[in-house]
C-alpha cells in the first residue's frame, strides 16, 4: 500500500518503539538462550534486586545527566556530531554498568566510509546502546513521534537529527523522510528496525517491506545485522536486566542497484533470510 500523495509506503511509518515498560515477571524466571535448547538459566530475587537497586537507577541517572549536559553543549558546534558523541558515551557507560560484553563479527568486512542502511533485528530496548557503542560512525535512527513527549529523550532526538515518524499522520513525516533521504545521499548511514517493533518472544518477526523504501530510493546497500542475546538481556515488559555476553553479527551488504518500489517485497524477503541466518547460526 502506498501513500499516494507522496509515493511513500504506509509500512514505512510503522516504526519500532521504546515505550515505557511494566514488570509482570514472577519472582523467579527461566530464560532459554536463542539457538541453545536446553540451556536454561534461572534468575531469582537477588538478580532482580541488583537490577532494580543498581542497574536501573544508574541508567536513569546517566540519561538525566548526559541529557541535561549534552543539549546546552550542542550549541557550541555541530549539534548532530556533539550529540552523537554524548550518546556514545551514555551507551558505553550503560554497557559497562550491566557487565554485558559484545562480540562483533563481520563489521570489518563493511566499508563504513560508504553510507548503508543497517537493518537490525529488535529484541530489546538495550539494542540502542549496543549499536551506539559498536557502530564506529555517526548514523541516524527512525523513531516514533510519541518519544518527543518525553523530557530529555525527546529533546535529544529532535536536536540530534534523528528521523521522526508520525504513525497517526504519515503526511506529517514527509519532511523528516526527505531529510533522511538527503542524509543517505550525503553519506550519512541509517539504522532501521524493519520488524516494526521489539520481538515479544526473541524470534525474528516478518520484516515490513516499506522499511526499505529509503534504501531503494537512495540506491544504497542494506547491511543485515543480528543482535544476539539482547532479548534475554532485557525482554519487553520488564526492567529486570540479566547480564550476559552478547553478539553483534554483521552480514554482507545486499545491493539495491536498479531496484524500484515494486521490488520492496522481494528485497524484504532477502534481508529477512540474511538476518535469520546470522541470528540463528550456531
Q: Are 120 and 227 in contact (CB under 8 A)?
A: yes
Assign 76 a pLDDT band (cuts: 50, 70, 90). very high
Model confidence, pTM: 0.86
Per residue in 50-71, pLDDT (tens digit) is 999 999 999 999 999 999 999 9
Q: Are strands 2-3 and 8-9 parallel, antiparallel or unpaired?
A: antiparallel
d(Cα 210, Cα 88) in Å, to the nearest integer? 29
DSSP state of 38: T
Q: Are 187 and 114 in contact (CB under 8 A)?
A: yes
Per residue in 78-105, pLDDT (tens digit) is 999 999 999 999 999 999 999 999 999 9
Neighbours of 112 (CB within 10 A): 14
In Å, how far are 111, 160, 198, 220, 278 from 124, measured between CA atoms?
27, 22, 6, 27, 17
Nearest Cα to 167, choosing from 33, 54, 19?
A: 19
Per-residue pLDDT at 180: 83
Neighbours of 215 (CB within 10 A): 27
d(Cα 248, Cα 238) in Å, to the nearest integer? 23
Per-residue pLDDT at 22: 42
d(Cα 13, Cα 144) in Å, to the nearest integer? 9
Assign 189 a pLDDT band (cuts: 50, 70, 90). very high
Q: Are 224 and 121 in contact (CB under 8 A)?
A: no
Amino acid at each position: 500500500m502506498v501513500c499516494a500523495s507522496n509515493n511513500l509506503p504506509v509500512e514505512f511509518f510503522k516504526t519500532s518503539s521504546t515505550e515505557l515498560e511494566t514488570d509482570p515477571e514472577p519472582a523467579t524466571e527461566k530464560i532459554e538462550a536463542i539457538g541453545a535448547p536446553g540451556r536454561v538459566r534461572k534468575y531469582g530475587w537477588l538478580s532482580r534486586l541488583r537490577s532494580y537497586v543498581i542497574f536501573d537507577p544508574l541508567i536513569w541517572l546517566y540519561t538525566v545527566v548526559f541529557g541535561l549536559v549534552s543539549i546546552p553543549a550542542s550549541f557550541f558546534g555541530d549539534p548532530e556530531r556533539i550529540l552523537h558523541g554524548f550518546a556514545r558515551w551514555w551507551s558505553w557507560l550503560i554497557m559497562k554498568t550491566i557487565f554485558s560484553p559484545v562480540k562483533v563479527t563481520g563489521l570489518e568486512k563493511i566499508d563504513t566510509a560508504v553510507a548503508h542502511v543497517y537493518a537490525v533485528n529488535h529484541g530489546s530496548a538495550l539494542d540502542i546502546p549496543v549499536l551506539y557503542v559498536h557502530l564506529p560512525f555517526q548514523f541516524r535512527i527512525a523513531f516514533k513521534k510519541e518519544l518527543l513527549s518525553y523530557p530529555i529523550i525527546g529533546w535529544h532526538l529532535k536536536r540530534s537529527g534523528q528521523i521522526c515518524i508520525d504513525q497517526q499522520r504519515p503526511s506529517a513525516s514527509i519532511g523528516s523522510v526527505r531529510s533522511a533521504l538527503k542524509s543517505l545521499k550525503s553519506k550519512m548511514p541509517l539504522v532501521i528496525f524493519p520488524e516494526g517493533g521489539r520481538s515479544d518472544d526473541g524470534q525474528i518477526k516478518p520484516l515490513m517491506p516499506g522499511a526499505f523504501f529509503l534504501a531503494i530510493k537512495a540506491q544504497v546497500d542494506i547491511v543485515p545485522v543480528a543482535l544476539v542475546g539482547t532479548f534475554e538481556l532485557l525482554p519487553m515488559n520488564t526492567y529486570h536486566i540479566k547480564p550476559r555476553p552478547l553478539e553483534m553479527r554483521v552480514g554482507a551488504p545486499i545491493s539495491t542497484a536498479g531496484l524500484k518500489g515494486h521490488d520492496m517485497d522481494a528485497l524484504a524477503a532477502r534481508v529477512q533470510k540474511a538476518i535469520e541466518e546470522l541470528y540463528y547460526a550456531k
